[in-house]
A and B are shown apart, each in its own frame.
Chain A
Amino acid sequence: MSELLTAARPRLDGTFLERIGLGNIALVIFLVIYPAVASEFFIVQIGAYSLIWGMLALSLMILAGYGGMVSMAQISIAGVAGYTVAIFGMNHTGVHGFGWPFWILVPFAVLLAALVAGLIGLISNRTEGIYTIMITLAVATGFFYFTQQNYALFNGHSGFAGIEAPKFWGINWRAPVPFYYLCLGCAVLSYAAVLYASRSAYGLTLQAVRDNARRMRALGYDVTRHKVVAYFYSGLIAGLGGVLLVWFNGRISPGTIDVSAAINVLVIAVIGGMRHPIGPFLGAVVVVLIQTFAIDVVGAERYNTLIGLVFLLIVFASPDGILGLWEKAKLRAPREQVFQLDPLRAGVMSITNRRKRNI
């Protein structure tokens, strides 16, 4: 009986740990012990904030990196989830605040965001390239002005304040360290899901649509549906990021989802690189660090200039962001080692090669 079960189990390439990848394991261990070595400021303002923006940029990376669709409306989708949390949960503004419990509220907000994302996908589906950017930017701008001018639902310019992360399992998730772990949990979940699904049948169809939509139709695929579903999935991650973002800020107003925030998502994804789901998180760390400390370096007047210069520098050195720099370094390094016939190194090489193929 037990032999039958073993036989029925699909064969894995390598061990479980090998399949996850040494790099990913090391990264998770570092991020888990990070609060033990970092100050409160670095835990929340840098750590948690980078994880949240990383998730928002990851939601764009799914569309742009795998699907070839650059959407500027990811921040609006996060905003839909954020506003939903403010309106249907608790806030101190005295407008709406229906006080739904978080375990209904959060799934509801995320699902609503994903449905809106699907709708945006449906609208922008007939466009390609720069026209997708234009139409999604129009959606983002339209939503920004709508929230600013609509008082009945969105409470206009001032938005909602006093939105708090919930308390459950006896933990106050608003406190710095728990909030960091909450963000880390959501980010790791999103990252792992994207990494796994990128090699699933659907993940491959999305990348194939990016490379050649016409051929995909001639292989029996309904390309429109595959694109819209990608928007839906990206909306789940953007929505979750949006919920964390309003909990982080404690408030949401049109300023949270304005055009510069929409551009921020794109800048983070481009700086990080869009070939692998780790890219958006790398980009988020870099951008959050610059945005936090640029004021100290060049003053409040010019910190955007510094961000712009770093952006130019990275994109100039590598069109594929930090990931591209990393790939270049890796390609250069092992070349001397290959012919040394060192068995240990050869083993490492075969692992990295396998991982490269799995990307």
Chain B
Amino acid sequence: MSETSVADRLYGAGAPALELDGVTRHFGALAALSGVTMRISAGERRAILGSNGAGKTTLFNAVTGEFPLTAGRIRFFGEDISELPTQERIRRGLRRTYQISQLFGRLTVLDSVFLACRGVSGRRFSLRRPDARDVSMMQARSIITAVHLDDESDRLVSTLSHGQQRQLEIALALAGAPRFILFDEPAAGLSPSERRDLVAILSALPKHIGYIIIEHDLDVALRVADYVSIMHNGRLFKEGTPEQIENDPEVQDIYLGHKHH
């Protein structure tokens, strides 16, 4: 349960999930993002490609509110969220994962996912211990099953392997009722078999949940995305279907370096 009302959701159903209008972010003289305009409809799955420093992660930080905008507007299901603090954007159904895992090392896997479920459902200051029938606790258990971490649910997060931590990253983004998720290189550092797992998890997401995925691995990115945007130097450089992007000579020259089969 996110804090958006049913009416908001019905209204939002017609609007695009995410509308970026001239989103700009400067760090001093450096323009990390300049005038990014993008429209992603509800349920759409988009991949963003681009070299290091192209502004992909900065774009995510701008959308979640971790970096305030220098200029531009962001609308989420029709609502202008440009001025909202991060937690308010999350409570409206936005989620994200991090390129470098941002987890709670001294908490268990179950407690971490429980907190993710509680964060968007209220009773965040409850002094009661959650029991096994607690709604957030039950949600947490089913999410842990969905990302294949059942056997690790009582382990401390700091003792998990890298791959398991990446799975937990995704689990945290699936908590509550996400409407749109930003995945920041979820496959970073994963083995080939873990990558196949990841593709399976992403493909199994309910159809109404849209996402943007930043991914260097084209095998992953082009398989889980309907549409691809390419960023370069803080700007949108090109957009198209995975086939168009794969066969675009300019893209091949600059980013892929070689013909990709």
**Known contacts A10-B131, A201-B130, A202-B124: A219-B106 contact under CB 8 Å:** no
Q: Is the CB of B131 within 8 A of A11?
A: yes
**Known contacts A219-B90, A219-B119, A220-B87: A202-B108 contact under CB 8 Å:** no
Q: Is the CB of B87 within 8 A of A217?
A: yes
Q: Is the CB of B124 within 8 A of A11?
A: no
**Known contacts A207-B107, A357-B108: A215-B172 contact under CB 8 Å:** yes
Would you list which residues of chain B between 119 and 139 have a CB under 8 Å from chain A?
119-120, 123-133, 136
Q: Is the CB of B105 within 8 A of A200?
A: no
Residue of chain A at shortest CB distance from B120:
A220
Out of B85, B87, B123, which one reaches A201, CB within 8 Å? B123
Q: Is the CB of B126 within 8 A of A202?
A: yes
Best-buried of B90, B124, B154 by chain A (most CB within 10 Å): B124
Q: Is A28 an interface residue (CB 8 A)?
A: no
Q: Is A197 an interface residue (CB 8 A)?
A: yes
**Known contacts A200-B128, A202-B125: A207-B133 contact under CB 8 Å:** no
Would you list which residues of chain A between 171 and 210 have a CB under 8 Å from chain B?
196-197, 199-205, 207-208, 210
Q: With the chains together, A219 CA to B124 CA distance in Å? A: 11
Q: With the chains together, A11 CA to B131 CA distance in Å? A: 8
B211-241 vs A, Cβ < 8 Å mask (1 yes, 0 no): 0000000000000000000000000000000
Q: Is the CB of A205 within 8 A of B124?
A: yes
Q: Is B255 an interface residue (CB 8 A)?
A: no
Q: Is the CB of A229 within 8 A of B112?
A: no
Q: With the chains together, A230 CA to B132 CA distance in Å? A: 26
Q: Is A221 an interface residue (CB 8 A)?
A: yes
Q: Is the CB of B106 within 8 A of A211?
A: yes
**Known contacts A201-B124, A220-B120: A207-B129 contact under CB 8 Å:** no
Q: Is the CB of B108 within 8 A of A205?
A: no
Would you list which residues of chain A between 9 and 46 have a CB under 8 Å from chain B?
10-11
Q: Is the CB of B127 within 8 A of A200?
A: yes
**Total number of B residues with any Cβ neighbor in A under 8 Å:** 41
Stretch at the interface among B39-47, B96-104, B142-150, B187-195: B96-104
Q: With the chains together, A207 CA to B129 CA distance in Å? A: 14
Q: Is B111 an interface residue (CB 8 A)?
A: yes
Q: Is the CB of B118 within 8 A of A201?
A: yes
Q: With the chains together, A82 CA to B172 CA distance in Å? A: 45
Q: Is the CB of A199 within 8 A of B64?
A: no
Contacts of A197 in B (CB 8 A): 127
Contacts of B126 in A (CB 8 A): 200-202
Q: Is the CB of B64 within 8 A of A204?
A: no
Residue of chain B at shortest CB distance from A358:
B129
Q: With the chains together, A229 CA to B125 CA distance in Å? A: 9
**Known contacts A199-B129, A219-B115: A207-B87 contact under CB 8 Å:** no
Contacts of A202 in B (CB 8 A): 124-127
A210-229 vs B, Cβ < 8 Å mask (1 yes, 0 no): 11101111111111011001
A324 nearest CB across to chain B (Å): 14
Out of A205, A214, A217, which one reaches B115, CB within 8 Å? A205
Q: Is the CB of A221 within 8 A of B124?
A: yes
Q: With the chains together, A223 CA to B87 CA distance in Å? A: 9
Contacts of B102 in A (CB 8 A): 212, 214-215, 218
Task: Please give 16 more A-B residue pairs, beta carbons under 8 A apart, in addition to A217-B85, A217-B90.
Answer: A196-B129, A201-B136, A202-B124, A204-B114, A204-B115, A208-B111, A215-B104, A215-B172, A218-B66, A219-B87, A219-B90, A220-B91, A220-B119, A222-B87, A223-B87, A226-B125
Listed from nearest, the 5 A-B pairs whose CB atoms lie closest are A220-B119, A219-B119, A211-B104, A220-B90, A215-B102
Report A's interface with B, CB cutoff 8 A.
Answer: 10-11, 196-197, 199-205, 207-208, 210-212, 214-223, 225-226, 229, 357
**Listed A/B pairs (18) with beta-carbon separation below 8 Å:** A11-B131, A11-B132, A11-B133, A201-B123, A201-B136, A205-B115, A211-B106, A212-B103, A212-B104, A215-B102, A215-B103, A215-B104, A218-B102, A219-B87, A219-B115, A221-B87, A226-B124, A357-B154
